[in-house]
């Protein structure tokens, strides 16, 4: 089974690792996990600013993870239909905050007849360190921890 997951993966953290582990588990013991890493252009369009880590490095880091079978850079035009036609995933795993992707994949399943199911993966890690944005904020504020 092919499982597809996606994200920005800027400042890779525990929540990302757990998301990818759980995504792969959805496909069973012989699943192949393919991860789409958002391009810098996509991140700028969505968040209004570029990621800290450039796209080629984020893709390489994600692909180096043991749980990931392949990591590809997302299409600049963000054409989810093209992704579905090319990868042909059995499962699309979405994170707790990926509501737009979930909605769009479900629309394509109905409209195009893809034999794919969407599965939501929960949130992981300490509440204060479960997103790259929160980690960036904590760094900017100072960690508050003493060595």
- When mean pLDDT is compared across 18-32, 36-50, 113-127, the lowest value belongs to 113-127
Closest CA to 3 of 29, 43, 30, 31: 31
Sheet holding 70-73, edge to edge: 70-73, 32-37, 2-7, 91-94, 117-120
pLDDT at 134: 60
Q: How far apart are the C-alpha atoms of 91 and 105, rounded to whole Å?
A: 10
pTM: 0.85
CB 23, CB 53: distance < 8 Å:
no
Q: How far apart are the C-alpha atoms of 1 and 108, rounded to whole Å?
A: 19
Query: Does residue 131 register a pLDDT over 70?
Result: no
25 falls in which pLDDT band (50, 70, 90)? very high
Query: Does residue 1 register a pLDDT over 50?
Result: yes
Q: Looking at residue 22, which CATH number applies to its domain? A: 3.40.50.620
In a domain, 147, yes or no: no
146 falls in which pLDDT band (50, 70, 90)? very low
In a domain, 32, yes or no: yes
Give kind and range of the element (H or E) at residue 63: helix 55-64
Range of the domain at 90: 2-141
User: What average pLDDT does the structure give for the chain?
Assistant: 88
pLDDT at 137: 63
In a domain, 114, yes or no: yes
Closest CA to 4 of 79, 80, 89: 89
147 falls in which pLDDT band (50, 70, 90)? very low
Structural domain total, the chain: 1
pLDDT tens digits along 36-95: 999 999 999 988 999 999 999 999 999 999 999 999 999 877 789 999 999 999 999 999
Q: How far apart are the C-alpha atoms of 60 and 76, rounded to whole Å?
A: 18
């Amino acid at each position: 089974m092919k499982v597809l997951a996606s994200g920005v993966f800027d400042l890779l953290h525990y929540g990302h690792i757990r998301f990818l582990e759980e995504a792969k588990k959805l496909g069973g013991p012989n699943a192949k996990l393919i991860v789409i890493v958002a391009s810098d252009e996509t991140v700028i369009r969505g968040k209004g600013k570029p990621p800290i880590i450039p796209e080629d490095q984020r893709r390489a880091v994600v692909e180096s993870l043991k749980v990931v079978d392949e990591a590809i850079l997302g299409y600049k035009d963000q054409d989810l239909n093209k992704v579905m036609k090319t990868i042909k995933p059995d499962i699309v795993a979405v994170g707790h905050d990926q509501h737009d992707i979930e909605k769009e994949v479900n629309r394509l399943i109905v409209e195009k007849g893809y034999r794919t199911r969407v599965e939501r993966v929960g949130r992981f890690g300490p509440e204060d360190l479960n997103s790259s944005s929160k980690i960036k904020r904590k760094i900017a504020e100072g960690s508050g921890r003493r060595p």
